[in-house]
Amino acid sequence: MAKTLGIVAVVLVAAAALYISTRPERFHVQRSAQLNAPADAAFALINDFHRWEQWSPYEKLDPNLERSFEGPSSGPGAVYAYKGNRNVGEGRMTIQESRPGALVSIQLEFIEPFPSKNTATFELEPSGTGTRVTWSMEGPNTLMGKVMSPFMDGFIGKSMEQGLAALDTAAQAEAKKLQQAQAR
C-alpha cells in the first residue's frame, strides 16, 4: 500500500512538473469596455492614483488598506504604495508613461504575497459618444504564475471587468463635473 502511494505521489509530482514546464514564460490578461464618458474624464481618474478609490476593484478588498503617495500627484513619476490584508497584499505602482486622453502605462511591483514586476496599461480611444478603454496586464510568468495559469485570466480578468464598470460610472460623474465647470 505504501509503495503504491509512493508511486502515485511520484507520478503526480512528475505530472505537475511537466505541466509547469509547458506554461509560457510571460502572461498577458486584457479586458476592454465601452465607457459612456469622454476620454479626458476617464483619463483623469486613471492618471491620478489619488482617485483610484473611486473605481479600482482592489481598493474595496481591504477597508483598512494602507496607502502612500510619492512624486507628482499624477502622470509620469507618480507613485502609489499599498499594504493590505491577504486579499490585497503589498505593492507599489509607478506611472511610467502618460498621454492625455490616450494612454497610461504603469509599472506594478508586487511585494507580497508573491514578488513580481509587471506592466499594466490603459489605452483609451474615442468611440462613438464615449471611450473604449482597454486595460491589460503582462509580465514574466513566475513559478507560482505558471501553477496558477489556468485561473489567472479569469481571476485577473474578472477584477478588470469590475474595475472598468466602476470606471464607467466614475467617468460619467467626472464628465458631468467637467461640463459644469466649463459652463461657468
**pLDDT in the model for residue 83:** 95
Q: What is the 3-state secondary structure (H, E, C) of 59-81?
A: HHCCCCCEEEEECCCCCCCCEEE
**pLDDT in the model for residue 3:** 75
Cα(175)–Cα(40) distance, integer angstroms: 8
**pLDDT in the model for residue 117:** 94
What cell numbers appear for 29 in the block? 490578461
User: Grid coordinates 511520484 are at which residue?
Assistant: 10
CA atoms within 13 A on the CB side of 142: 9
**pLDDT in the model for residue 154:** 76
**pLDDT in the model for residue 182:** 80
**pLDDT in the model for residue 5:** 66
Phi, then psi, of 83 in degrees rounded to 5: -145, 125
Pick the CATH number of 2-183 from 3.20.20.70, 3.40.50.300, 3.30.530.20, 3.40.50.10860: 3.30.530.20
Q: Which residues of the chain have pLDDT under 70?
A: 5-6, 8-24, 142-151
What cell numbers appear for 178 in the block? 467637467
- Domain extents for the chain? 2-183
Q: Are 67 and 50 in contact (CB under 8 A)?
A: no
**pLDDT in the model for residue 13:** 62
